């Protein structure tokens, strides 16, 4: 059995990046509930089974990619966080829709439906508010985590 404590991580895989990705995945999971319940007119076509897990997975992967864009101070930090949130949302939705497509019909070509779901959900003010609060939460966690004494991931799982 491989122990996480003994793994040699690449230098860019830090505990902060992993924590931020996890919080971004949690935000995607929360927003997926809003998308199903408050989304636009196409929300009724979103499958109930697996959509929330796929949204968590998509947001986790996208959050891992853009994790360094969150948690910076000043106006440019907010601008960078906003761009990172937009990228994570679009990329995470594409991954989630492709995951659902692979699991449901065996084809990853459903990834474009994630972008359509975002465009459809943008017509709902309550969903946009939910997304905004979730993304501000991701940035606030990143700012807090930059100064807090969070234990390394390998110490938690080791």
What's the pLDDT tens digit per position in 31-83?
Answer: 999 888 888 788 777 776 788 999 999 999 999 999 989 988 889 999 999 99
SS3 content of the chain, % helix, strand, coil (to 5): 80, 0, 20
* pTM of the predicted model as reported, rounded to 2 decimal places: 0.82
Rounded to whole angstroms, the Cα distance separating 44 from 40 reads 8
pLDDT for the residue numbered 137: 95
Q: Taking a C-beta distance cutoff of 8 angstroms, is the pair 33, 151 a contact?
A: no
**Per-residue pLDDT at 136 exceeds 60:** yes
Greater model confidence, 145 or 82:
82
Q: In which band, very low, low, confident or very high, does the pLDDT at 18 lie, cut at 50, 70 and 90?
A: confident
Joined together, the tokens standing for residue 128 give 């946009």
- Give the number of other CB atoms < 10 A from CB of residue 7: 11
Please list, in sequence order, all residues whose beta carbon lies within 8 angstroms of the beta carbon of residue 2, skipping any fewer than 6 positions away.
Answer: none
């Amino acid at each position: 059995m491989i122990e996480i404590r003994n793994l040699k991580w690449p230098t860019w895989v830090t505990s902060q990046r992993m924590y931020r990705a996890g919080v971004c995945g949690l935000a995607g999971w929360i927003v997926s509930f809003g998308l199903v319940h408050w989304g636009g007119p196409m929300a009724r076509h979103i499958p109930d089974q697996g959509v929330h897990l796929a949204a968590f997975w998509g947001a986790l992967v996208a959050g891992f990619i853009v994790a360094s864009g969150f948690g910076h101070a000043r106006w440019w930090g907010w601008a960078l966080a906003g761009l990172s949130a937009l990228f994570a949302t679009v990329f995470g939705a594409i991954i989630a829709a492709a995951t659902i497509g692979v699991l449901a019909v065996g084809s990853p070509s459903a990834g474009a439906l994630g972008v359509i779901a975002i465009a459809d959900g943008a017509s709902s003010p309550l969903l946009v508010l939910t997304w905004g609060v979730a993304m501000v939460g991701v940035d606030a966690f990143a700012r807090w985590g930059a100064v807090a004494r969070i234990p390394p991931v390998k110490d938690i799982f080791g």
